[in-house]
Copies of this chain bind each other. A is one copy, B any other.
Amino acid sequence: MTGDGSDMRDRPGAGQRGETLLFLTDEHLRKGIEAMFFAYRGFTADPDRILESYSYGRAHHRALHFVHRSPGTTVNNLLGILGVTKQSLNRVLRALIDDGLIESRVGHTDKRERHLYLTERGSDLESALSDAQRARMRAAFRSAGPEAVAGFRAVLEAMMDPEMRRRYLSLSEGGH
């Protein structure tokens, strides 16, 4: 197995059609896989360091991020975005609400729903985490250049599960 790319790579007579597919060799794919692995570590490293000071973890960060991103979102919606069970989310959410970082308001039209908002303190922590993470992203974007960034986004988007791509794209729509 593992065949696939290597065949093309070493075929000297390959015509243009073959040549333009060189970026699909197993070697390139493996390199992409490893890039994801190592980069994701860098991606989370800075917020993780900040979270250590509090008694929070990555799960709290994600909740803060998406509540900041979509203020007033319901618990159900957040469950869909985060892709965890309600028991998992509830544990995290309870801590953030008890600590006064997130506010839960009963729904206006549907009173079963709870709408989530960051409090001022929640907003402060979210900003701190976001600043750290964006600083690294900004440095990476700047060093790679605008065209690389477009490619970065295109590949990541294509890598998502369809349902998650839909959610990812619709996050920007309603926008603020």
> For window 118-176 of chain A, which residues contact chain B by CB distance below 8 Å?
127, 130-131, 133-134, 136-161, 164-165, 167-168, 171-173, 175-176
Q: A23-B141, A161-B45 are in contact. Are A29 and B155 (CB under 8 A)?
A: no
**Is the pair A24, B156 in contact by a Cβ cutoff of 8 Å?**
no
**Is the pair B28, A168 in contact by a Cβ cutoff of 8 Å?**
no
How far does the alpha carbon of A17 sit from the alpha carbon of B48 in the complex, in Å?
A: 34
**Is the pair B42, A160 in contact by a Cβ cutoff of 8 Å?**
yes
Number of chain A residues close to chain B: CB under 8 A:
71
Does A34 sit at the interface, judged by CB under 8 A? yes
> For window 37-96 of chain A, which residues contact chain B by CB distance below 8 Å?
37-43, 45, 62, 65, 69, 83
Does A4 sit at the interface, judged by CB under 8 A? yes
Q: Which of B32, B134, B160, B168 contacts A26 (CB 8 A)?
A: B134
How far does the alpha carbon of A41 sit from the alpha carbon of B26 in the complex, in Å?
A: 21
Name the residue on B nearest A83 (C-beta): B41
Name the residue on B nearest A45 (C-beta): B161
Q: Which of B26, B34, B39, B159 contacts A140 (CB 8 A)?
A: B159
4 closest Cβ pairs, A-B complex = A151-B151, A148-B151, A140-B158, A39-B156
